[in-house]
Amino acid sequence: MSYEVLGWGAGELWFDGDSLLWHELPHGESSRDAADHALAERLIRYFRGEAVSFDDIALASDDEPAFARALAGALRAVPRGAVVTYGELAALAGRPGAARAAGTFCARNRFPIVVPCHRVVAARGLGGYGSLGLDYKRRLLELEGFGPSTR
């Protein structure tokens, strides 16, 4: 199912029953807000700047390795407006020294915003943000109120 967010573009949500299977972030052009699912409506509120929680969203991640599920759980616990490094995320998930694996997890994250990989930064800089780029990541962090004093 698709949704639209004014100023952000169109995104997609896929479900496996009641569990989120995949989320594609909004991109491109959109001249309106449009949603026909409760999660899409919450995402629109998030992109409008509201402090929306996604803690109750079930993820279809049973096929993921245990460490990936641990990374997702640790990342979901990083509060809005805060960031962690890839190394810190790995340590929070129980595997200090697995920063590269944490980076790979973030690059393959199929639940952006719900599993907020934009809150993970490199030890020296923002790190990457896939095909949407660093400007998109900066925009998400600014939306959440991240600034130097919040780290």
106 is catalytic: no
Q: Which two tokens stand for residue 79?
A: 């509060």
Q: Which two tokens stand for residue 64?
A: 């993921």
CB 27 within 8 A of CB 132: yes
Write down the catalytic residue from 35, 84, 117, 140.
117
CB 66 within 8 A of CB 80: no
- In sequence order, the 6+-apart residues with CB closer than 8 A to the CB of 90 are 71, 96, 97, 98, 99, 101, 102
CB 17 within 8 A of CB 25: no
Q: Using CA atoms, how far apart are residues 22 and 108, in angstroms rounded to an integer?
A: 11
Q: Where are the beta strands (DSSP E) in 88-149?
A: 120-121
Active site residues: 117
